Amino acid sequence: MTEHPPAHTSVFHVPDVILAEIDQARAALERLDSDPLYAFHGARKAIKKARSSARLIRTGDKSASRRINAAGRRAADALEEARDADSLEQIARAAAIHCERSEIAAIVTMEGVRAREDSKRVDRTHAAGQARAMLDEMAGEVEKIDFSQTPGTVMAQGLVRTYKRAKKRLKIARKNPDGETLHELRKRVKDWRYHTTALKAVWPDRVKAKRKKAKKAADLLGDHHDLTRLINRLGDRQDPDEPDLHLHEAIDTLKTRRTALEAKALKTAKKVFKRDPGDLKTDLKDAF
């Protein structure tokens, strides 16, 4: 395995940051036999960080950034079926704890059992092999990155772009909050968190608070997305001709929790992205 610096140690070495995350994904997949749940979870998490870092350098080498991101998407897609089933089981267990009525808790718990059975049908060895091939492709594309501008300029432009995209998604989500708009907002919030982490060395006075608020917003949006997945899965089981009242109540219970999460998530995200992008651009120009 190639040796690379730990992830996010230097704002000026994003290619090394991406390679470090690729190595993290490879290391996670090596634990497929001993800990298959961690193998897929750890690998997908590292892949997401690598893709996010690739988006940060979009203005430096647009073509390479897109190719790395595309290969990363294919790597994550290879692991998606198993990881989604694994996570849904965990989501159902956690949701059942918050159900006051035993009948409702039993329905939610059973959905977790079904998810576990789904995960057993996935060929994890084949999926891991596909992911490894895509990780190799990602690493090859990283080696081709060619900055025509100075690293500092690229990073500043990249972070402003990240902020604008997140702010735009926040506006859309506040206007029309649903599972899709909040999930898109979550992805952009997570980008912002990763990128501000990369910039902590040159923006220390502001980045700590932003990272903490972004983490809280991402966690709330993640919980919202988890409940949306569970609600949709339960909804697919509802027979419109012979409705199950307990199933209907279970869905309504989860929707009530989801609505509360929605309000908290949007309120927190608003605090993170309340500034004008132009002010951010000025701050970063001074930092570099």
The pLDDT of residue 58: 87
- In this predicted structure, the answer to whether residue 229 has a pLDDT above a threshold of 80 is yes
The pLDDT of residue 127: 96
The pLDDT of residue 208: 63
The Cα 29–Cα 175 span in angstroms is 40
Question: If pLDDT is split at 50, 70 and 90, which confidence band does 6 have?
Answer: very low
Residue 287 contacts residue 207 (beta carbons within 8 Å): no
Question: If pLDDT is split at 50, 70 and 90, which confidence band does 34 have?
Answer: very high
135-188 confidence digits (pLDDT tens): 999 999 999 888 666 677 787 788 889 999 999 999 999 999 999 999 999 999
Classify 187 as helix, strand or coil. Answer: helix
What is the average pLDDT across 191-202?
A: 79
64-83 confidence digits (pLDDT tens): 999 999 999 999 999 999 99
Long-range contacts of 16-24 (CB under 8 A, 24+ apart): 17/53, 17/198, 18/50, 18/53, 18/54, 18/68, 18/138, 18/142, 19/139, 19/142, 21/46, 21/47, 21/49, 21/50, 21/53, 22/46, 22/47, 22/50, 22/135, 22/138, 22/139, 22/142, 24/49
What is the average pLDDT across 35-61?
A: 93
The pLDDT of residue 153: 78
Question: If pLDDT is split at 50, 70 and 90, which confidence band does 95 have?
Answer: very high
For the chain, give every domain's residue range.
Answer: 1-101+121-148, 150-288
Question: If pLDDT is split at 50, 70 and 90, which confidence band does 130 have?
Answer: very high
The Cα 116–Cα 118 span in angstroms is 5
Number of alpha carbons in the 13 Å side-chain half-sphere of residue 157: 13
pTM above 0.85, yes or no: yes
CA nearest to 231, candidates 220, 247, 245, 218: 247
Q: What is the DSSP letter of 263?
A: H
Residue ranges of the alpha helices (H) in 143-203? 151-175, 179-198
Q: Which CATH architecture has domain 150-288?
A: Up-down Bundle (1.20)
The pLDDT of residue 152: 72
Question: If pLDDT is split at 50, 70 and 90, which confidence band does 209 have?
Answer: low
What is the average pLDDT across 260-272?
A: 96
Between the alpha carbon of residue 70 and those of residues 25, 56, 74, 118, the distances in Å are 16, 14, 6, 27
The Cα 211–Cα 157 span in angstroms is 19
User: What is the biggest distance separating any 2 CA atoms in the chain, rounded to whole angstroms?
Assistant: 65
